[in-house]
Chains A and B, each alone.
Chain A
Amino acid sequence: AQKITQTQPGMFVQEKEAVTLDCTYDTSDPSYGLFWYKQPSSGEMIFLIYQGSYDQQNATEGRYSLNFQKARKSANLVISASQLGDSAMYFCAMRVTGANSKLTFGKGITLSVRP
């Protein structure tokens, strides 16, 4: 079974600073994908970034990057130059290769950006 762990309490960051949101995962499958989603207070789920288990380089999407440490089974999201609009809940999720591959979510981390 797959498991995603997000244990940080509510996170705070000053506007324009960088912040790291932690995610660890557990799977015995060698082929998997890791995703981060953002959920603002309006409630929608927004896909941010993807990292494959066989990808050689860490994924980047604009101000978002993923610090992927395969041996440690961690996939931390780094947000650079935080903006007020980054205040939201952030979810880490994983999907392994195979039939009916389901996306398993962590419990989420709340990020608040201070002006």
Chain B
Amino acid sequence: NAGVTQTPKFQVLKTGQSMTLQCAQDMNHEYMSWYRQDPGMGLRLIHYSVGAGITDQGEVPNGYNVSRSTTEDFPLRLLSAAPSQTSVYFCASRGRTARGNNSPLHFGNGTRLTVT
């Protein structure tokens, strides 16, 4: 059981370049999300999805796009990379529980992105 798989693990971009961070989960989870982690800031939500075909913005969505064409995949697109997007990116998913609150997020191992 692979869980949540993120690729690549490391990436260096030049300002203005675009790229897609891949995320796939094999747990049939409905909810998927992208966070970025910056020193002293904790984890901040970029975008999330509650099911295939449904996406919404989180706390820091500017400069990022997402799509959810299948339950398994939730790619994050950087349209025109900026140095401010240098960060560690985490994809996470969770299933639905009867109580609604107690299912924890399962995280991928992260992607370390540097924009020069």
A residues neighboring B (CB under 8 Å): 4, 31-33, 35, 43-45, 47, 50, 52-53, 91, 93, 95-97, 99-108
Contact = CB atoms under 8 A, between A and B. Distances in A.
A35 B104 CA distance: 8
A102 B48 contact: yes
Interface residues of B, number: 25
18 contacts: A35-B104, A35-B105, A44-B109, A44-B110, A45-B92, A45-B105, A50-B102, A52-B101, A52-B102, A91-B43, A95-B101, A100-B48, A100-B50, A102-B45, A103-B33, A103-B105, A106-B42, A107-B42
B74 interface: no
- Which applies to chain B's interface (DSSP): helix, strand, loop or mixed? strand
A100 B50 CA distance: 7
Contacts of B99: 52
Contacts of B92: 45, 103
Given A45-B90, A52-B102, A108 B109 contact: no
Interface of B: 33, 35, 40-45, 48, 50, 56, 58, 88, 90, 92, 99-102, 104-107, 109-110
The 9 closest A-B pairs by CB, nearest first: A33-B101, A45-B107, A47-B104, A107-B42, A105-B43, A105-B42, A44-B109, A43-B110, A50-B102
Contacts of A4: 42
B102 A47 contact: no
Contacts of A101: 100-101
Nearest to B104: A47
B42 A97 contact: no
Given A33-B102, A45-B90, 11 more contacts: A45-B105, A45-B110, A47-B106, A52-B102, A53-B101, A101-B100, A103-B92, A104-B45, A105-B35, A105-B42, A105-B43
B3 to A, nearest CB: 10
A43 B88 CA distance: 9
Given A43-B110, A44-B109, A100-B48, A91 B102 contact: no
